């Protein structure tokens, strides 16, 4: 497939696009995956979608994400999403640590980034947005996984890894996904069994701590204790279980689930990165249109790959190189947004879309 952007669709989404192309009101939901700095390559695509393509929409649009996918969904649900995406990208890129960062330092930086993204009045904008309905997931941890003490947390992660190796259902008992949702319109997937940790309405008091919890990577950041309105407990990164969310998003409702993603594959859980059997297939993504940078586009990026959180370690003491790499990736990512807008406006998306096996 030529071009910078790949269009990959589950069978129902594929058939719908083949017959009628794609219009903004065809989309019922937009999903954002975990991936930390990987999001930067999607900045231009997200900006094009929410800053231009969805403008003027009246029909409610569900937004669901985990970790950075939740943070960028919160940016999308503001009055000026392009400015919000710019603030998020700039604040994320300009993190600086001396030597190996501690969980306390990373947590402090996360608060700084959130202060930039959620300036005064922004939480109210999100909760009263005319069409965006923000939903996000965290995990409520049990046993040693709830501790921030290094030895206990390490034991918890080893236990969680072993449980996940046996089955995701066993893992889910230790690491309970919890849904935080916009109470104006409950998402169609809310009762599909994915969230045994419970369902919590988003409010002005808990939106910020829920977002922080959804990005709190174990060992990297401190866990978030007792979120207002939610069951007592320690909450961590929603991507532990829903690394790249994949389940029956629409529960029989009509529409397409738009999924801007940095990869052409959807990996179910954080511990599943090297397990081919835990990659979502076309039946699980039947209503999904996955938008991903092509291999040729990725090869053009400064280091021949997309940004990654591990760049803090790879380029330790070389912040100028890291910042230049990440900023260049953001600039180049604008091509993804431009290609999407051209493909849907011209109808060429019908020829460009490919079916997910």
pLDDT at residue 2, as a whole number: 58
Domain extents for the chain?
5-355
* Chain segment 95-112, per-residue pLDDT in tens: 999 888 899 999 999 999
**Tokens 């859980």 -> residue:** 269
Mean pLDDT to the nearest integer, 25-42: 97
Residue 186: other Cβ atoms inside 10 A? 16
* Bigger pLDDT: 191 vs 263: 263
pLDDT at residue 1, as a whole number: 41
Instruction: Classify 227 as helix, strand or coil.
Output: coil
Query: Exposure of 120 by Cβ count < 10 A (0-12 exposed, 13-18 middle, 19+ buried)?
Result: exposed
List the structure tokens of 41: 């390559």
DSSP state of 231: P
Rounded to the nearest integer, the mean pLDDT of the chain is 96
Residue 278 confidence (pLDDT) above 80: yes
The continuous run of DSSP H or E covering 45 comes out as helix 43-48
**Cα 345 off chain centre by:** 26
The DSSP secondary structure of 161-217, one letter per residue, reads HHHHHH-HHHHHHHEEEEEEE-TTS--TTTTSSS-TT-EEE--TTTHHHHHHHHT--
pLDDT at residue 357, as a whole number: 87
Say if CB 24 and CB 48 are below 8 A apart: no
């Amino acid at each position: 497939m030529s071009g910078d952007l790949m269009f990959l669709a589950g069978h129902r989404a594929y058939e719908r696009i083949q017959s009628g192309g794609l219009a903004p009101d065809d989309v019922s939901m937009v999903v954002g995956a975990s991936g930390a700095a990987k999001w930067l390559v999607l900045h231009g695509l997200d900006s094009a979608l929410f800053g231009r393509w969805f403008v003027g929409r009246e029909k409610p649009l569900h937004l669901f994400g985990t970790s950075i996918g939740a943070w960028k969904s919160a940016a999308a649900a503001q009055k000026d999403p392009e400015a919000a995406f710019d603030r998020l990208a700039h604040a994320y890129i300009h993190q600086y640590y001396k030597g190996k960062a501690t969980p306390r330092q990373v947590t402090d930086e996360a608060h700084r980034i959130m202060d930039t993204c959620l300036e005064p009045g922004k939480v109210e904008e999100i909760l009263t947005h005319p069409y965006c309905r923000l939903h996000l997931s965290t995990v409520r941890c049990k046993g040693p996984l709830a501790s921030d003490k290094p030895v206990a947390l390490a034991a918890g992660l080893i236990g969680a890894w072993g449980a996940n190796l046996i089955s995701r259902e066993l893992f889910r008992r230790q690491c309970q996904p919890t849904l935080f949702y916009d109470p104006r319109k409950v998402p169609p997937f809310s009762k599909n069994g994915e969230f045994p940790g419970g369902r919590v309405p988003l409010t002005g008091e808990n939106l910020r701590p829920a977002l922080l919890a959804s990005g709190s990577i174990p060992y990297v950041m401190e866990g978030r204790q007792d979120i207002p309105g939610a069951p007592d407990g320690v909450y961590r990164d929603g991507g532990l279980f829903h690394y790249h969310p994949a389940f029956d998003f629409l529960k029989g409702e009509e529409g397409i689930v738009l999924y801007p993603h940095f990869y052409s594959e959807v990996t179910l859980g954080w511990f599943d990165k090297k397990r081919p059997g835990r990659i979502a297939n076309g039946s699980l993504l039947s209503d999904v249109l996955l938008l991903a940078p092509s291999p040729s586009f990725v090869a053009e990026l400064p280091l021949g790959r997309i940004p990654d959180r591990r760049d803090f370690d790879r380029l330790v003491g070389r912040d100028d190189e890291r910042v230049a790499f990440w900023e260049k990736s953001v600039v180049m990512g604008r091509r993804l947004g431009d290609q999407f807008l051209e493909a849907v406006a011209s109808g060429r998306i019908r020829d460009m879309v490919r079916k997910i096996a």
